[in-house]
Structure 1
Amino acid sequence: MDSQFKQLGRVTSRVGLSVAAVAALGVVTAAPASAQDTSTTFTVAGDGLAITVFPASAPLGSGAPGADIAPAAGIGTFTVTDARSVEPAAWTASVTSTAFTTPGGGASRTIANSSVDYWSGTCTGTGGNGGGATPTWTGGQANAGAAQDLSAPRTTCTLAAGAGANTGSWDPHLIVHVPANAVAGDYSGTVTHSVAAA
């Protein structure tokens, strides 16, 4: 009888040890939590660089041969809209002009673009300060004393050191030096403003 109890005790002990060993094994071999990464992307879409004017036409008034036509008002508000959202957001606006003519043709009915002066005045802007950038807008010709003739392309406004979307605007003036031999008539020509990335 004692011998049976001793054997049973040994069996019980073995079972207890086996359970403890299995429990310990379970702690050691527990699988780590599973993790998976997802790579995500998105696009910040930029647009273009454009220039607009309002109004689309500008009568300058009248003057006698040998006199100057110098309107007090500008010819319209020109605005560069830079929706490229780039850094640097630098650009340069410029102006050119055709000759001015009246119907009938001939040299006496043509006023060359070299007889037309342009000055931009102040160029002011908004935006362009993305990432803490400090944008700087600069007009091409500050006042009438700094006016340049339109026999060659002239700078009207520039943006330097900007970042991100921005706009720049100015209201330029024209001064026509009417030649002494000009024939009376209504003269017309085209002044063209453009903008390009700097």
Structure 2
Amino acid sequence: MRLRLLALMSGTALTLAVLTDPAAAVDTTVTFTVTSGALTITAPAGPVSLGSAAAGNSVSGPIGSITVTDARGGVPTSDWTARVSSTAFVGPSDTVPSSAATYTPGPGTLITGNGTLTSGPGGTLDVQRVAMSYSGGTGNSQATWNPTIAVAIPLSVGLGTYSGTVTHSVA
């Protein structure tokens, strides 16, 4: 009985000594470096269908979320401008020119950043247009918007599915 009590006391004293002895604590300094990233833009890969309509009418619809991520960490500022344009829309027997397509960016949503996000004016896609711009912010930013594309279908085009490529870029 005496041996058991001594062992228990010895174990308790040892455990308390380990738990309360500050010499047993060890600190580790951990470091990391934040580096400059890239300016990127993402858009739906498609195909995105705008629906169907008879010649002489229009089709219209959203093409999905466009997102710009600026991880360049700009100081004093990291401004950017996203632009959009389109190829012609080619069908089985005819082509609808890109000037028949219009782009409406709609409002943008600033996810990260402290600058000003501004929607472009929209317009036909036969020339490169400003879709969205960001200015006056410091550090990184991220923004998204969901544009609508409308295509006025000429009365003269033949039946079938027409396909074109809408290109977004950022600089």
Q: Under a length normalisation based on structure 1, what TM-score does the superposition of the two structures give?
A: 0.67
Residues matched between the structures, number: 139
| Alpha-carbon contact 2:116-2:135 (below 8 Å) kept | yes
Q: Partner amino acid for 2:95?
A: T
**Residue 137 of structure 1, aligned match among 90, 109, 117:** 117
Cα deviation, 1:133-183, whole Å, max 9, x if unaligned, reads xx1001113xxxxx4111100101100101111101100001110001011
Q: Could you say which residue in structure 2 is the equivalent of 1:181?
A: 156
Q: Is the 8 A contact 1:127 1:164 kept in 2?
A: no
Tell me, in whole angstroms, the C-alpha distance in 2 between the residues paired with 1:100 and 1:54: 18
> Quick one: distance in 1 between partners of 2:46 and 2:84?
15
CA RMSD, 1 decimal: 1.5
Pair 1:158 & 2:133 matched: yes
1:148 corresponds, among 118, 123, 127, to 123
For 2:168 and 2:44, locate their aligned partners in 1 and report how far apart those are by CA, in whole Å: 12
Could you tell me which runs of 5 or more consecutive residues in structure 1 were left unpaired when the two chains were aligned.
1-41, 130-134, 142-146
C-alpha separation between the residues in 2 aligned to 1:127 and 1:114?
34
TM-score after normalising by structure 2: 0.77
Percent identity among equivalent residues?
41
Runs of at least 4 residues off by over 4 Å: none
| 1:171 counterpart residue number | 146
Q: Which has the larger radius of gyration?
A: 1
CA–CA distance in structure 2, aligned partners of residues 50 and 93 of structure 1:
10
- The residue number in structure 2 matching 1:126 is 111
1:82 aligns to 2:70 (yes or no): yes
Aligned twin of 1:98: 87
Deviations 1:96-135 (A, max 9, x none): 100000134xxxx000000011110001112223xxxxx1
Query: Is 1:115 aligned to residue 105 of structure 2?
Result: no
Structure holding more helix per residue: 1
2:160 & 2:47 partners in 1: Cα distance? 18
AA aligned to 1:80 is V
Which one has a larger percent strand, Structure 1 or Structure 2?
A: 2
Aligned-pair CA distance for 1:193: 0.3
Does the 8 Å CA contact 1:65/1:182 hold for their aligned counterparts? yes
Aligned partner of residue 168 in structure 1, secondary structure: strand
Compute the displacement of 1:55 (Å). 5.5
Question: Using the alignment, how far apart are the partners of 2:91 and 2:68 within structure 1?
Answer: 32
The corresponding residue for 2:38 is: 48
The answer to whether the 8 Å contact 2:118/2:133 transfers is yes
Aligned residues of 1:94 and 1:153 also touching (Cα < 8 A): yes
Looking at structure 1, the residues matched to 109 and 100 of structure 2 have their Cα atoms a distance apart, in angstroms, of 28
Distance 1:121 1:168 in 2: 13
